[in-house]
């Protein structure tokens, strides 16, 4: 479609990685070119930690905190988390595959060149976050709070969501055609998104109510 710019994703290439010990991870650490496989991270504060060119595989996360952390050129696979608390964090050139996460807290975080594939997410809090070049593929999301967020070149492919809140959001080149969504809140923030004709028809009553239009037979 003319005018719609797709996300620009840089390929992630990780070479040979050194095995890391997750028990030794501490807040504020910087981990480079390591693979952390299969740990259970429960009740730990890992705020400010940086993973650079790492792979996090098969993690089970319960009541852990990753506030103000950085995930750079990193692959996250088979993550299971009751909640993922990473507000004010940075995600740059990250792949998240086959994850199951209850609640995701990414308030005021920055995501650039990030791909989520086959991820099941509960409530995703992106309030105040900045997303640039982000793709959701084959994802199921219960709800997305993108209030006050800035989204640029973000697309959804074969995804479903119960609700999306775009109150006071700023959208540019956001492709919603691959997102089956039940409810949209803050309709004034949907400007800058691209939807299919079928989606627009399905949400006609929502748009009419927002504009104060009464629809009758």
Tell me, what's the pLDDT at 199?
A: 75
Residues 107-157 pLDDT 10s = 999 999 999 999 999 999 999 999 999 999 999 999 999 999 999 999 999
Q: Beta partners for 57?
A: 37, 77
In Å, how far are 43, 199, 201 from 195, measured between CA atoms?
41, 6, 10
Distance from C-alpha of 113 to C-alpha of 92, rounded to nearest angstrom? 6
Residues 68-86 pLDDT 10s = 999 999 999 999 999 999 9
Distance from C-alpha of 172 to C-alpha of 110, rounded to nearest angstrom? 16
Tell me, what's the pLDDT at 142?
A: 95
Tell me, what's the pLDDT at 3?
A: 76
Distance from C-alpha of 33 to C-alpha of 125, rounded to nearest angstrom? 29
Tell me what percent of the residues of the chain surpass a pLDDT of 90.
Answer: 82
Tell me, what's the pLDDT at 202?
A: 67
pTM, 2 dp: 0.91
């Amino acid at each position: 479609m003319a005018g719609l710019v797709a996300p620009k994703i840089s390929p992630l290439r990780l070479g040979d990685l050194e095995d890391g010990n997750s028990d030794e991870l501490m807040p504020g650490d910087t981990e480079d070119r390591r693979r952390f496989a299969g740990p259970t991270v429960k009740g730990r504060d890992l705020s400010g930690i940086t993973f650079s060119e790492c792979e996090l595989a098969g993690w089970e996360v319960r009541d852990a905190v990753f506030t103000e952390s950085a995930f750079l050129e990193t692959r996250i696979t088979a993550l299971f988390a009751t909640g993922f608390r990473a507000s004010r964090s940075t995600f740059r050139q990250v792949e998240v595959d086959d994850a199951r996460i209850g609640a995701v807290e990414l308030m005021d975080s920055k995501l650039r060149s990030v791909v989520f594939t086959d991820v099941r997410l509960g409530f995703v809090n992106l309030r105040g976050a900045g997303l640039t070049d982000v793709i959701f593929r084959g994802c199921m999301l219960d709800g997305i709070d993108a209030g006050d967020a800035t989204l640029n070149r973000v697309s959804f492919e074969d995804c479903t969501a119960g609700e999306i809140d775009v109150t006071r959001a700023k959208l540019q080149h956001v492709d919603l055609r691959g997102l089956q969504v039940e409810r949209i809140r803050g309709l004034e923030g949907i400007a800058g998104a691209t939807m299919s004709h079928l989606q627009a028809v399905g949400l006609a009553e929502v748009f009419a109510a927002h504009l104060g239009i009464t629809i009758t037979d």
